[in-house]
């Protein structure tokens, strides 16, 4: 497989756990764009939002996107929920959208044993109504950015990972 696989999707949809499962099943090397940004900046995403604002963070995402396009190959890339807006997404690799309806995502994030931590580290998931509004705004554009759409509701990360590998390898 020559290309990268890029996982996009809304906060809390399960990009991280599905990425870990793809790695387990395929042996691919993986990276996460939020982790790359945190190492570049030596501070947490939440702190970057607080100290610099969202526009600065989006600029960092674009910097990472240029680096991925130029220098990264054969890698599974998981992304922050807004990363799909970078200008060169399609040039990085095969874009896989993980899709679930908002209620499924909300339930997943709020019933997680670490729910408080998960919500705290996501400045754009402050409360249910603002998160739902953002979801509704993004929903149509996510699908446009994707080469492959995978429904994740009611499926285990193991099943989703298997589905992604089957579809992307066939492509």
Q: Which residues bind ligand S3P (CB under 6 A)?
A: 11, 15, 34, 45, 80-82, 122-124
Least distance (Å) from ligand S3P to the CB of residue 10?
7
Least distance (Å) from ligand S3P to the CB of residue 42?
17
Query: Closest-CB residue for ligand S3P?
Result: 80
Instruction: Judge whether 123 and 57 are in contact, CB under 8 Å.
Output: no
77 sits in the region (left: phi over 0; alpha: psi -120 to 50; else beta) called beta
Task: Select from 128, 127, 65, 76 the least CA-distant residue to 102.
Answer: 128
Least distance (Å) from ligand S3P to the CB of residue 150?
16
Residue 119 CB coordination number (10 Å): 18
Task: Write down the residue that tokens 């599974």 correspond to.
Answer: 76
C-beta of 11 vs 168, nearer to ligand S3P? 11
- The answer for residues whose C-beta is within 8 angstroms of residue 129's C-beta and 6 or more apart is none
C-beta of 108 vs 122, nearer to ligand S3P? 122
Least distance (Å) from ligand S3P to the CB of residue 9?
7
C-beta of 1 vs 31, nearer to ligand S3P? 31
Interatomic CA distance for residues 16 and 116, integer angstroms: 17
Least distance (Å) from ligand S3P to the CB of residue 14?
10
C-beta of 99 vs 122, nearer to ligand S3P? 122
C-beta of 57 vs 161, nearer to ligand S3P? 57
Task: Write down the residue that tokens 């997680």 correspond to.
Answer: 112
For the record, the structure tokens of 133 come out as 């509004």
């Amino acid at each position: 497989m020559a290309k990268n696989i890029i996982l996009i999707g809304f906060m809390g949809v399960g990009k991280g756990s599905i990425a870990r499962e793809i790695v387990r099943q395929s042996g691919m090397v993986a990276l996460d764009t939020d982790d790359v940004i945190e190492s570049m900046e030596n501070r947490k995403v939440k702190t970057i939002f607080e100290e610099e604002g969202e526009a600065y963070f989006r600029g960092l995402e674009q910097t990472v996107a240029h680096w991925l396009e130029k220098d990264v190959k054969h890698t599974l890339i998981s992304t922050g929920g807004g990363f799909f807006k970078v200008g060169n997404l399609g040039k990085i690799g095969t874009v896989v959208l993980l899709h679930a309806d908002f209620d499924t995502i909300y339930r997943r994030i709020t019933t997680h044993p670490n729910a408080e931590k998960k919500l705290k580290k996501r400045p754009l998931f402050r409360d249910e109504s603002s998160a739902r509004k953002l979801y509704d705004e993004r929903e149509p554009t996510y699908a446009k950015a994707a080469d492959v759409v995978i429904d994740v509701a009611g499926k285990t990360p193991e099943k989703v990972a298997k589905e992604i590998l089957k579809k992307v390898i066939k492509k």
